[in-house]
Amino acid sequence: MISHEHKAIFIHIPKNAGMSIEKALGGNLKRIHRGPNRGKHGTPNDKKYKKTWKNLDYFKFCFVRNPFDRVVSAYEYDHKMSFVKGYAMRKKGADTARRLKVRSLGKEGFNIFIESFYKKMKKKAPPVWYKRQQFWIRNFKYDFIGRVENIDKDFQIVCDELGIENKLEKINTSDRSYYKEYYNEKSISIISDYYSKDIQRFNYSF
């Protein structure tokens, strides 16, 4: 999202409270989230951002999240979307088969999903909700990288920088348990390995 009003660029990493942040910055969520995921969750290198990213007057930020928690959020999001008609569950949609599988497994099947899903991801790129956060961060020069775990405090830092007063409201949430309740030892190992760069860079742990 680019806010010319606030001179800010927010890179929306999926499942990191992005819609709440976009709304707080005055974004039109229906317009922002219309179209392919690439447009909603672009990187600073995308055409949409590339020119403005070079403008030193714009405050550039994003939020990261503990990968163990983020994967649970993505899984629960797939489960919720599996019951939504239309774009989320198109007959030939790339995400439909995965979401039907998640629906059939439910919360108790999380570890079964992790084992089979990430085995396939060794040979192909994951869907946007399951990508490593390094995909959006890499060596791009952000002014601030906040953490979902400290979201209220860190978003206040953003507001102070932009000279605005606003609070976040919860949007697009899932009804779920604490993330540690989902995992067994094998799935902890799988996620630790797959997201090792995210975990190391931001000092996360299970």
Would you state the pLDDT for residue 27? 77
Would you state the pLDDT for residue 30? 72
The pLDDT tens digits of the residues spanning 54-80 come to 999 999 999 999 999 999 999 999 999
The pLDDT tens digits of the residues spanning 25-43 come to 987 777 766 655 556 889 9
Question: What is the model's pTM?
Answer: 0.91
- φ/ψ (deg, to 5) at 204: -95, 160
Would you state the pLDDT for residue 94? 79
Would you state the pLDDT for residue 37? 57
Residues of the chain with pLDDT under 50: none
Tokens 């999001």 sit on residue = 77
Would you state the pLDDT for residue 70? 98
Would you state the pLDDT for residue 167? 84
User: What residues does each domain of the chain span?
Assistant: 2-201
Cα-based distances in Å from 160 to 101, 143, 151, 198 = 44, 13, 14, 27
Would you state the pLDDT for residue 171? 74
* Helices 110-120, 185-194: crossing angle, 10 deg rounding: 30
Would you state the pLDDT for residue 29? 74
